Amino acid sequence: MNDKADETQVSEDDWAAAMNEQAVSEAPAGNTAAPAQIFEQLGGAKQAAVAPQGFDMIMDIPVRLTVELGRTKISIRNLLQLAHGSVVELDGLAGEPMDVLINGTLIAQGEVVVVNDKFGIRLTDIVTPQERMHKLNH
């Protein structure tokens, strides 16, 4: 039972420290106190060599990456009339960035490149998680 009380005390101390950090970060701009560094900086030499535990488990999970040139809607009549050499007009404009989707979710935009006779895409804009959430809300 004493161990349970110790765990509760540590937990309450942790919450108190977190609340103090929040109060410091919400203080008026005139306050010059530097915020405490909670997390290590990314990109350190020791972190590059070691992946977080559990992260390795998802590294080999396949996802579908799709690069979308454009879309169009056509009637079944027009679809059945397509033949070799037919041209289908897409809504994408020449020179417009192409959408890069992962499992159907827009994650980036880019431009077409050709390397060794193979098409590729050079990413020009990455969609942030905040932008994805904003698009879901509208």
Q: Which residues contact 110 (CB under 8 A, 6 or more apart)?
A: 67, 97, 98, 100, 121, 122, 123, 124, 125
Q: 75 versus 138: which is more confidently predicted?
A: 75
| pLDDT at position 77 | 95
CATH number attached to the domain at 62-138: 2.30.330.10
Ranges in the chain annotated CATH 2.30.330.10: 62-138
| pLDDT at position 55 | 77
Q: Quick check: pTM over 0.85?
A: no
| pLDDT at position 16 | 63
Please say if the pLDDT value at position 48 is more than 70: no
Average pLDDT, the chain: 75
Q: Residues 25-37: pLDDT tens digits? A: 555 555 555 555 6
